Amino acid sequence: MSLPAAPFGRMLTAMVTPFTADGRVDLEGVARVAAHLVEHGNDGVVVSGTTGESPTTTVPEDAEILRAVKDAVGDRATVIAGVGTNATAHSVELALQAEKVGVDAVLVVTPYYNKPGPAGSLHHFTEVARATDLPVMLYDVPGRTGQAIAPETYEAAARLDTVSSVKHATGNPLDTIALRELGYDVYSGDDALLLGYLAHGGCGIISVVGHAAGVQLREVIERFDADDPAGALATFTRLVPLIDAVMGVPNYGATTAKGALELLGVLEDRHVRGPLVPLDEDEMARLRAALEEAGVL
């Protein structure tokens, strides 16, 4: 069973944004993480998304982060810029900035907190899509935004020239079938549901666990694509303890990924920006045990 085409690669990670102890963006750390991801199984990186703590970074910082990533990966990987906010004008500003930096696409999440509804979400996506010539990937994650993208919004957005794909993190891989019929390339936004998304027509994943297990997740996808579902499941099964550890704390994502990168020696520390707090020592011990059990440490 061959997987559908993947416009930005099959294995991507939503990368963290390293910070210094005094809260500044650590651009050397940004470059180091980006290079680590590309050298460990990733076809691309998503910058300034949820895991990148984008609600806490400024517009100038976002530009610096993007440039550091582009310099680090060169033409070895695709770079997708997260430009989703809950203010349309702000998202347009970020999209125009990302286009100037030279990224491959932009990621636009459903506006959060203000919950604009189907018509407002479509307006938001349309304004961003019309502002640049870059491909637009929608991001559907109701657990964080408070609402899912409505079917009628998906249908209307698919008619926009540059809207071509979706990072889908609703917990329901079955939706992939309908989204494929509308013309979307569907990326799993949930590590735990990767096999379900592939089975329903997904083309790849935008991962958090990929910070530590990009090679192994890539193997899952490649085995599935090579008509070896049993082999894909066997590889995935070995990762389950790590997936549980990374996704099993209340403020998972940036905190757990940075903890893993510290344990792997990619980052010197695991600083985050408030309101997040770094993993405590007990959480780090559990994460270390999971990394060892999965065979990545």
For the annotated catalytic residues, the residue numbers are 139, 167
Residue with tokens 């990368």: 15
